[in-house]
């Protein structure tokens, strides 16, 4: 077996663990409110700061990867997350959580993120790159399904303080050493070659009509970056933060809401894997256009569900919530593989780490706005309809911008 698959497995585990811990934030909100005698708005501010720090750190991480290598950045970032989570066991004031989670842990999340995993895949895979990107991205959904429910059970059984202790030790003693042991930053320096590497690669590359982008100022970079920011606004920001409160406001019970969110996460994993396979076989520009417009249609369903007549129907038939969860889950994180694959093709020969950092920074900034603006609109209107309409319009814009991208002839691996 080629060592690239070992790299893929290890980065998948790293993403599952590190980003799974990031997704557990909602599980700790209520216990922290009780422990620190605060309100929902204040605890939500910790998440908002976390998104901003995460976003700002993405291009820095890209530059650090270029300078220090994938291995060092990944396992050190996991250690930072582990120690910050472990130290929160001793927190006695809420401001300490702002520092430990909102800043320190978020720097670690930025390092053990999609940027690092993306560079690892593009470095180690010449063929099956789309599939590898899809598997890596599925680690986010897998973390949602594994780490979040486990944290909820642990909090219920032993309390939040012992839960963060267990999570911190898991990252420090198991995940980080695994990354340090098995990760290799560069296949050639390790005496190997990327998967699918051919010595006459340059001659074959000349035969492919690949469009080269010159710099970040190229409009093609912005036509990838802006839709990806909208992707963050509508997924990690809007849905991951506000879908549960929306379902609760509709009157759905906790078991129904929990089952719907789990369904969304499961189909998220399926969607990212299928997207990765398709990215190796079809034109990635067309895939992105289809994904953004399909996501817009699913959000339009929520616009109807949040209306007066639609809400009655939505509450009367809970199956509609599951239909939405399945449809949205399939196109949730599925945009990542074709987006990154296009980036690597347009900017081949340039700093993939730095450019990926800017790309994922846009996603996190979109996520920060997507988690914050709907909360403000809900306080003003008492519903999420305006937020869903905004998301629909933004996704339509993302689809149009993606359609303006230049064609790149797909190479069948």
pLDDT digits (tens, 9 = 90+) for 154-166: 888 899 999 999 9
Q: What digits encode the pLDDT tens for the residues 192-251?
A: 888 887 765 544 444 444 444 444 446 788 889 899 999 999 988 888 777 877 877 788
pLDDT at 29: 74
Give CA 35 to chain center in angstroms.
29
pLDDT at residue 193 in the model: 85
Identify the pLDDT of residue 82: 95
Q: What are the φ and ψ backbone dihedral angles of 126, each rounded to 5 degrees?
A: -95, -35
Q: What is the pTM of this model?
A: 0.73
Distance separating alpha carbons of residues 7 and 21, to the nearest angstrom: 21
Residue recorded with tokens 């811990």: 21
Helix extents (H) in 159-253: 160-170, 176-182, 201-207, 219-232, 240-250
> How high is the pLDDT of residue 208?
43
Specify the 3-state DSSP secondary structure of 259.
helix
Low-confidence ranges of the chain (pLDDT < 70): 40, 199-218, 254, 308-312, 349-353, 408-413
Number of Cβ within 10 Å of residue 291's Cβ equals: 26
Q: What is the domain partition of the chain in residue ranges?
A: 1-189, 211-413
- Round the CA-based radius of gyration of the chain to a whole number and report it: 21
Task: Note the helical H segments in 24-69.
Answer: 25-35, 40-68
Q: What is the pLDDT of residue 409?
A: 52
Separation between Cα atoms, residue 187 and residue 126, nearest integer Å: 12
1-189 and 211-413 share one fold: yes
Could you say which DSSP state residue 89 is in? G
Q: Tell me how far apart the alpha carbons of residues 392 and 356 are, in angstroms, rounded to a whole number.
A: 26
For 367, the token pair is 């996520």
* 1-189 CATH pick, 1.20.1250.20, 3.30.2320.80, 3.20.20.70, 3.40.50.720: 1.20.1250.20
Q: Are 11 and 78 in contact (CB under 8 A)?
A: no
Q: 336 to each of 162, 176, 225, 276, 340, how far by Cα in Å?
A: 35, 25, 11, 9, 6
Cα–Cα nearest to 61, from 22, 15, 107: 107
For residue 195, what are the β-bridge partners? 125
Task: Return d(Cα 270, Cα 63) in angstroms, integer.
Answer: 32
Q: What is the CATH number assigned to the segment(s) 211-413?
A: 1.20.1250.20
């Amino acid at each position: 077996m080629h060592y690239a698959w070992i790299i893929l497995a290890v980065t998948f585990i790293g993403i599952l663990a590190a980003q799974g811990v990031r997704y557990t934030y909602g599980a700790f909100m209520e216990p922290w409110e009780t422990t620190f005698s605060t309100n929902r708005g204040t605890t939500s501010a910790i998440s908002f700061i976390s998104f901003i720090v995460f976003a700002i750190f993405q291009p820095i991480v890209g530059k650090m990867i270029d300078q220090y290598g994938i291995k060092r950045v990944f396992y050190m970032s996991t250690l930072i997350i582990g120690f910050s989570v472990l130290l929160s066991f001793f927190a006695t004031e809420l401001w300490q959580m702002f520092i430990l989670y909102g800043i320190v842990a978020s720097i670690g999340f930025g390092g053990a993120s999609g940027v690092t995993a993306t560079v690892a895949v593009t470095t180690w895979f010449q063929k099956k790159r789309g599939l590898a990107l899809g598997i890596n991205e599925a680690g986010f959904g897998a973390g949602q399904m594994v780490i979040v429910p486990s944290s909820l059970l642990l909090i219920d059984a032993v309390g939040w303080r012992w839960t963060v202790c267990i999570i911190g030790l898991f990252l420090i003693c198991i995940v980080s050493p695994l990354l340090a042991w098995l990760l290799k930053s560069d296949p050639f320096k390790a005496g190997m070659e990327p998967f699918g590497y051919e010595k006459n690669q340059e001659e074959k590359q000349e035969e492919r009509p690949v469009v080269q982008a010159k710099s970040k100022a190229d409009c093609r970079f912005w036509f990838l970056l802006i839709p990806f920011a909208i992707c963050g606004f509508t997924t990690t920001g809007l849905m991951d933060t506000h879908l549960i409160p929306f379902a609760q406001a509709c009157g759905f019970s906790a078991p129904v809401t929990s089952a719907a969110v789990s369904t969304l996460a499961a189909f998220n994993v399926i969607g990212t894997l299928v997207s990765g396979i398709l990215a190796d076989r079809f034109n990635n520009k067309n895939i992105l256009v289809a994904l953004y417009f399909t996501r817009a249609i699913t959000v339009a369903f929520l616009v109807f569900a949040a209306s007066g007549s639609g809400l009655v129907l939505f509450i009367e038939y809970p199956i509609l919530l599951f239909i939405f969860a399945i449809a949205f889950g399939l196109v949730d994180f599925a945009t990542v593989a074709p987006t990154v694959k296009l980036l690597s093709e347009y900017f081949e020969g340039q700093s993939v780490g730095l450019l990926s950092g800017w790309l994922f920074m846009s996603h996190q900034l979109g996520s920060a706005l997507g988690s914050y603006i709907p909360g403000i609109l809900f306080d003003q209107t008492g519903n999420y309809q305006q937020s869903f309409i905004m998301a629909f319009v933004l996704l339509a814009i993302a689809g149009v911008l993606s359609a303006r991208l230049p064609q790149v002839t797909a190479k069948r691996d």
